[in-house]
Amino acid sequence: MAHILSYLSAVQAALSDKSYSSLAPLYDDLLLQTASRGATTDEWPYAVHLLVHIYLNDLNNARFFWKLLPQEVKDARPELAAVWRVGQCLWNRDYAGVYTAAQGFEWGPDLAEFITAFLESYRKRIFQLLTSAYSTISVPDVAHFMGMSEEDATNYAVENGWSLDTSTKMLTVKKAKAQTNQMLDASKLQRLTECVFHLEH
């Protein structure tokens, strides 16, 4: 029990500090510890747990986690379904849909700041992808990919070193190194999902 409490303390500290990248192993380990002791998971924060995978851009694990959840859990938790809509848009590369899904739901206090942090991280990641993929790109296209107005997208790009041709509304890209995200351990995910399956059936 003390071991589980230490995990809970670490989870709360990470949420308070907005150290979202560190939450995945904490949540996974905590759920495994809970399952190994036969404890109920009725109050488990599935929406936050799912968003952790999405925040890390770990879509395979997010899909696997979602698929293993019982339908009654999905139906009873609107926030969980709303998080998954964000994940679906990511999986389908529906760039504008990601912003619509994330901004079109009234998130509770446990998720509101996390969603904001996700959108900030996602915009940075998309901007890095655009930087890698293009030498020049139109302002409307940048606005589409970034989920911003054309004015805001232009300001964001210029602030990050891109240059604007006002006559053509084309942006010239300033090249930069892209960053990658770390994926979670596959064996741990397998054990985790097996536990979820057995707990809920």
Q: What is the pLDDT of residues 95-125, one digit of tens each?
A: 889 999 999 999 998 789 999 999 999 999 9
In 10 A of CB 127, how many CB atoms?
Answer: 21
Judgement on whether residues 10 and 103 belong to the same structural domain of the protein: yes
Domain presence at residue 153 = yes
Q: What is the mean pLDDT of residues 39-58?
A: 81
d(CA 6, CA 42): 20
Which one, of 14, 3, 6, lies nearest residue 110 by Cα? 14
According to DSSP, the residues that pair with 170 across neighbouring strands are 138, 165
Judgement on whether residues 105 and 18 belong to the same structural domain of the protein: yes
Q: Which residue has the higher pLDDT, 28 or 127?
A: 127
Judgement on whether residues 126 and 144 belong to the same structural domain of the protein: no
Judgement on whether residues 142 and 129 belong to the same structural domain of the protein: no
d(CA 15, CA 165): 42
Question: With 70 as the cut, is the pLDDT of residue 71 above it?
Answer: yes
| Tokens, residue 111 | 């998720």
Question: With 90 as the cut, is the pLDDT of residue 48 above it?
Answer: no
Judgement on whether residues 160 and 114 belong to the same structural domain of the protein: no
- Orientation of helix 59-68 relative to helix 186-200, angle to 10°: 20
Average pLDDT over the chain, rounded to whole? 81
pLDDT band at 64 (very low <50, low <70, confident <90, very high): confident
Provide, for the chain, the percentages of residues in helix, strand and coil under a 3-state DSSP scheme, each rounded to the nearest 5.
Answer: 70, 5, 25
Domain presence at residue 192 = no
Judgement on whether residues 93 and 49 belong to the same structural domain of the protein: yes
Domain presence at residue 39 = yes
Judgement on whether residues 127 and 47 belong to the same structural domain of the protein: yes
| Tokens, residue 32 | 């495994």
- Summary count for the chain: helices (H), strands (E): 11, 3
d(CA 10, CA 6): 6
pLDDT band at 199 (very low <50, low <70, confident <90, very high): very low
Judgement on whether residues 33 and 120 belong to the same structural domain of the protein: yes
- Phi first, then psi: what are they for 60, rounded to 5°? -60, -45
Q: Which residue has the higher pLDDT, 182 or 37?
A: 37
Query: What is the model's pLDDT at position 65?
Result: 87
d(CA 54, CA 117): 12
Judgement on whether residues 7 and 84 belong to the same structural domain of the protein: yes
Q: For 11-25, 81-95, 160-174, which range has the lowest pLDDT when averaged over its residues?
A: 11-25
Question: With 60 as the cut, is the pLDDT of residue 4 above it?
Answer: no
Could you give the number of structural domains in the chain? 2
Judgement on whether residues 121 and 139 belong to the same structural domain of the protein: no
In 10 A of CB 38, how many CB atoms?
Answer: 7
Highest mean pLDDT among 29-33, 44-48, 50-54: 50-54
pTM for this predicted structure? 0.74
Domain presence at residue 185 = no
Query: What is the model's pLDDT at position 138?
Result: 96
Judgement on whether residues 143 and 94 belong to the same structural domain of the protein: no
Task: Find out whether 60 and 92 touch, Cβ atoms under 8 Å.
Answer: no
Domain presence at residue 128 = yes
Judgement on whether residues 128 and 139 belong to the same structural domain of the protein: no
Q: What is the mean pLDDT of residues 8-37?
A: 66
Q: Domain range holding 48? A: 1-133
